[in-house]
Structure 1
């Protein structure tokens, strides 16, 4: 399969070649909404194109991918749209024309209507699926990247992070699947910009904010502007008949510049003022800034950027505070810093991980600087 490089090449290619071209275009990370609309115009022109594209899609295994979801559009809406479609009445496939059996002309008309309906429904399904399928962007361990959206918004992904992007005429929806991202949102009052983190939805119109999603918590920090954080809070027991039942109540908090909050299974924390906003986005410069953070947290942060992890074995050492600025991809300097602590021993495991231990009797300083 190959991508066709000009409109003339696309026009002169066979239908299967065109279908292969569109499969490549639609599955590239650079695919835009304009590309998808151009494909929709192409595929609507005949059921033969629908069939050709479906054959390519099935061959590539796309329809079996766990990451692909069909739209939630009700079947009756799809059927109404299909009947209103301008698709040509061409039977699917390339089989020889069937011999016309004797009978009333109504039977022929019914067959032609069936062909047209099936072809148009397939066309609507394919177009709707492609237009609703979100784009996915991700980074590997130690990698960072920036993604410029079609609306002008910029998303910068931190190490080991993943997002799904779905832009429509009425809404801009981003799903932060894992990791951390900095969002610089282009102003558009007609299209809300929502980031779904699983535990909460963060809405902004035009602002700059950071979201860090971990297994047990999600931290939302506003660098500039204002955001709205919406989540489901565990409600208080409410009487129902003879027994009390817990009712989930929606919760909303507004964050302004230099504020943050944390979302956990228990709900949202109160907004907290950020004295120095620079450390929030320091990771975009591959810097890790710590102010009285426990050694266990510091090690966890380094482990996000490096495949060889730092393992703090001593419980006393894990709770000691650390203050300093380090390069995210330079764990060797941090290990050298730890190795200078009296009584601390740093060894390397068979798997290549760095094991930090504090033998019995070793105290270690209370604050590491």
Structure 2
């Protein structure tokens, strides 16, 4: 067996040759985290690759001991057993060559059989672990990104957001770890599309909806079609199962239709609310922030999601004042000019580069911003 020297050579090689390449790479002293991640990406692409690697690893164990019989267990069954096992997943390490004795004793043969069996089990666990790792996508502050999934569904990530994607034959599972995302789901009634927000699961078959996850609340808004929003059962210590588990019976459950939204908090779910104008819900995809009678404090916090230099409003009275307007998310400077033109308001910059907004005269309240 040998290590292939280039990506082109790997791509043009047969699946068994590719499996041999990865066996060599993973058993070298110089194997890196990047090598293991590349192996994970390779093995996830087809069951044929999983089987090829499993059988190669078992062959290597067999070569070290004539007492070990070849296993006829299908790769699918090995993977199923590995996933059902409670054993700890052990990373692959470089194997040390076993010393060969002229006449191995029965004990030595048993030891070799045990070593090969453990090696095969560890291999199955590692491959199954790699196979079932979710795909991760994320954005930095001020960054947006669109992700096209294999079934044609499209997910657009807003600033400072992260998702995990795991598809199985019977379920499409997304975990919104943080931030905001717009989901455009390809129609497939045989495979529900579930989004876990930590406090609730949003299920759709073919629809378009937006989820905004914050520290204290999650807002679900339906742009087109309808979704089910399923909250966790009250007084339960278990979270919604991740990735490959079925969604448990949950309560309460709400059905949201087009131009409706609800908010999920620790206290539970709100009643569905009609959205008079759906355009502001997705305006962020055009890097626009649309506010109608929103508090100045909320507007500042929204700008802070998109910019590293934050706007800090010290006065509670100023934070409570209402704002209506349309702003560019990455243009906080124009918003600061807007604030600075309010009589009695002062804008300064602190040592960390953040913009501090305060009232020069505590006895004079600002005008209502329109």
**Equivalent position of 1:43 in the other structure:** 53
**Equivalent position of 1:345 in the other structure:** 346
Q: Cα offset for 1:273? A: 0.4
State the aligned residue count.
Answer: 321
Q: Render the CA deviation track for 1:17-60: whole Å, top value 9, x for unaligned.
A: 487899758736x9488625454133123227999xxxxxxxxx
Give, in whole Å, the separation in 1 of the partners of 2:149 and 2:347: 45
**Equivalent position of 2:103 in the other structure:** 100
CA contact (8 A) 2:142 2:306 kept: yes
Give, in whole Å, the separation in 2 of the partners of 1:148 and 1:100: 59
Cα separation, partners in 2 of 1:332 and 1:19, compared to 1, 3 Å: farther
Q: Render the CA deviation track for 1:307-361: whole Å, top value 9, x for unaligned.
A: 0000111111111000000000000000011111111111111111111112323
**Equivalent position of 2:359 in the other structure:** 358
Q: Render the CA deviation track for 1:166-206: whole Å, top value 9, x for unaligned.
A: 11111111111110011111111111111111010101111
Describe the SS at the equivalent of 1:250: coil
**Equivalent position of 2:24 in the other structure:** 16
In structure 1, the gaps of 5 or more residues are: 52-70, 79-91, 236-247
Q: Does 1:271 align with 2:281?
A: no
Cα separation, partners in 2 of 1:33 and 1:231, compared to 1, 3 Å: farther
Give, in whole Å, the separation in 2 of the partners of 1:50 and 1:165: 34
Q: Cα offset for 1:16? A: 1.9
**Equivalent position of 1:318 in the other structure:** 319
Q: Cα offset for 1:234? A: 4.0
Give the TM-score taking structure 2 as reference length: 0.77
With 356-365 and 301-310 compared, the bigger mean Cα shift is at: 356-365
In structure 2, the gaps of 5 or more residues are: 62-80, 89-94, 236-248
CA contact (8 A) 1:232 1:249 kept: yes
Give the TM-score taking structure 1 as reference length: 0.77
Q: Does 1:192 align with 2:192?
A: yes
CA contact (8 A) 1:138 1:157 kept: yes
Cα separation, partners in 2 of 1:155 and 1:50, compared to 1, 3 Å: farther
CA contact (8 A) 2:138 2:157 kept: yes
Cα separation, partners in 2 of 1:76 and 1:299, compared to 1, 3 Å: closer
Describe the SS at the equivalent of 1:284: helix
Cα separation, partners in 2 of 1:165 and 1:295, compared to 1, 3 Å: same
Q: Cα offset for 1:363? A: 2.3
Q: Render the CA deviation track for 1:224-251: whole Å, top value 9, x for unaligned.
A: 111000013547xxxxxxxxxxxx9721
CA contact (8 A) 1:223 1:277 kept: yes
CA contact (8 A) 2:212 2:218 kept: yes
Runs of 4 or more consecutive aligned structure 1 residues displaced over 6 Å after TM superposition: 18-23, 48-51
**Equivalent position of 1:330 in the other structure:** 331
Cα separation, partners in 2 of 1:27 and 1:186, compared to 1, 3 Å: farther
Describe the SS at the equivalent of 1:352: coil
CA contact (8 A) 2:43 2:49 kept: no
